[in-house]
A and B are shown apart, each in its own frame.
Chain A
Amino acid sequence: MNARTRETAAFWAMRLTAYSVVVIVGYIVVDIVVRGAGTISIPFLTEPMRKSGLEGGILPAIAGTFWLVACAIAAALPLGVACAIYLTEYARPSRFTDMVRLAITTLAGVPSIVFGLFGLGLFVYQLKFGQSILAGGLTLACLILPTIIVASEEALRAVPADFRAGSMALGATKWYTIRTNVLPYALPGIMTGSILGVGRAAGETAPILLTVAAAYLPFLPNSPMDKVAALPYHLYYLATQVPDMKAAEPMQYGTALVLIALVLGMNLGAMLIRAYFSRKHRW
């Protein structure tokens, strides 16, 4: 084999791996869409489940996922952005900031079931929230915190240092400068990162398994202290816990389709926001 053939072979090997990613995603999406589309209907999206989930809709699971995600983002966004501001704007590089960064990286690598156990121990038992939206949402917040911190840090670093110097030279304090002349330009990046985090939180099963856990709960929640159904967990339930697996198949695929549409929709939204603002802000 001469150099040229080797080059071509390597090129094609890499090209095929790149294609295979598209094929895998495409297969999953197409399979779910084809098998699930028949189930999607207005009642499916707006009614509670009936008869162990074999009939009716999945509204409580959609609502539950919405509440969990809202709770997670409400907790993780301020914390994550504050942490990123501290790391990029205030902290001078030291052993301490190295440690913080190591902790963030480690947090990102922790298996999600461990987050579930942590949430069970801390929020459910220690803080006595019980199994509730609050406990589950906060657990998910811990899970998406690294995503938000890293995205926010990147977005803040992308704002030119000139803007900070220009503002400070006019007599602005550091905090005023960050508020008016750094954060607004970093916001699109922070939003993009947060939406990706939300997409991840929406799809996680393990963390909510132990902290919100309601396998079959055909009611909408009344307060953050309620248990609630959620899409990924409802899917797990439909796929493993119902007596007649074959009969549950349309409901399984319908639920999967709603979940995947939600997550992909959010990722798409994040991409659109990024594209829109990168056209708008050019410096």
Chain B
Amino acid sequence: MTSDEKTKKEIKIRAANVDFFYGATQALFGITMEIPAGEVCALIGPSGCGKSTFLRTINRMNDLIARTRLTGEVLLDGANVYDAATNVVELRKRIGMVFQKSNPFPKSIFDNVAYGPRVHGMRNREALEEIVQRSLQRAALWDEVKDRLKDNALGLSGGQQQRLCIARALAVDPEVLLMDEPASALDPRSTAKIEDLIAELRGDYTIVIVTHNMQQASRVSDTTAFFYEGHLVEFSATATMFSRPEKKQTEDYITGRFG
């Protein structure tokens, strides 16, 4: 991708001067970046660098943590998600999230996927069945579970559980998918499946993925953001970042010299 092409792209998420605080501790310092629609953006950096915190500012999951504070703006399609008028329920319907530790609910596979649509008021059984099937198919899990939708989701393997969580996120028809190290607890085969899935979903969804795995970032993403100690050190096309990083710090990190 050339920079010319990139400038033409529609911007889905824009962060402008985002500072974030846990109590008195500042975790993010003036983060400014633009994530194009339909692309996969990887957030990399050593533990505690603020990449997960930044991810959670996008769907306001940090609101759930006591004594946190954000200044600056995070814009989704040009509208500030921290605006007083923002409906958080609606926001989180548009921005799905997949967590590091797969967290299927102790309900049936069906009820897990149908949870989101039900949250948003859908009661029609047939419509729910259709959504569940479509979401599981999108998450490449349908064939493995179609005969046991009534079984408890906790009986699935780790990799299946994570794909179920992706299906669950997809079921509310989001525009953006936030993934917080979705494959860090999985074996290589399950990881490969998740990566294939990300490639499949790319284009239809804007995906922001936090990862510790450099190879994974280079394989799945269009753009990569390198965070270090709460600062955004470098943000560019993935191909550029991994072949000729601008900053020495970035190069040191991606070549494994620290972090």
Contacts and interface: CB of A to CB of B under 8 A. Distances in A.
Interface of A: 92, 160, 162-173, 176, 180-181, 185, 281-283
A170 to B, nearest CB: 4
B119 A170 contact: yes
A183 to B, nearest CB: 13
Contacts of A166: 99, 103, 105, 165, 168
20 contacts: A162-B103, A163-B105, A163-B106, A165-B99, A166-B99, A166-B105, A166-B165, A167-B115, A168-B64, A169-B92, A169-B96, A170-B116, A170-B169, A171-B90, A171-B92, A180-B115, A180-B118, A181-B105, A185-B106, A283-B154
Interface residues of B, number: 27
Interface of B: 59, 61, 64, 66, 88-93, 96-97, 99, 101, 103, 105-106, 115-116, 118-120, 154, 165, 168-169, 172
A171 B66 contact: no
**Which secondary structure dominates where chain A touches chain B?**
helix
A171 B105 contact: no
Nearest to B117: A170
B105 A173 contact: no
A166 B101 CA distance: 11
Contacts of A282: 154
- Nearest 5 pairs between A and B by C-beta? A162-B103, A171-B92, A169-B97, A170-B116, A171-B93
A92 B63 CA distance: 13
A130 B191 CA distance: 70
Given A164-B64, A170-B168, 6 more contacts: A92-B66, A168-B92, A171-B88, A171-B172, A173-B89, A283-B106
A169 B101 CA distance: 14
A160 B99 CA distance: 14
B119 A176 contact: yes
Nearest to B59: A169
Nearest to B111: A180
Contact of A165 (B91, B103, B106, B120): B103
Contacts of A173: 89
A171 B87 CA distance: 10
Give the interface centre of A162, A167, A168, A170 by most chain B CB atoms within 10 Å. A170
A170 B115 contact: yes
Nearest to A173: B89
B256 to A, nearest CB: 31
Contacts of A176: 119
Give the interface centre of A162, A173, A185, A281 by most chain B CB atoms within 10 Å. A162
A101 B115 CA distance: 34
Nearest to A174: B64
Contacts of A160: 103
A16 to B, nearest CB: 43
Contacts of B88: 171
Contacts of A281: 106
Contacts of A165: 61, 64, 99, 103
A283 B107 CA distance: 11
Contacts of B92: 168-171
A104 to B, nearest CB: 22
A180 B92 CA distance: 18
A283 B88 CA distance: 28
A174 to B, nearest CB: 9
Contacts of A283: 106, 154
B154 to A, nearest CB: 6
B92 to A, nearest CB: 4
Contacts of B118: 180
B105 A170 contact: no
B106 A169 contact: no
Contact of A172 (B59, B119, B154): B119
B173 to A, nearest CB: 11
A5 to B, nearest CB: 50
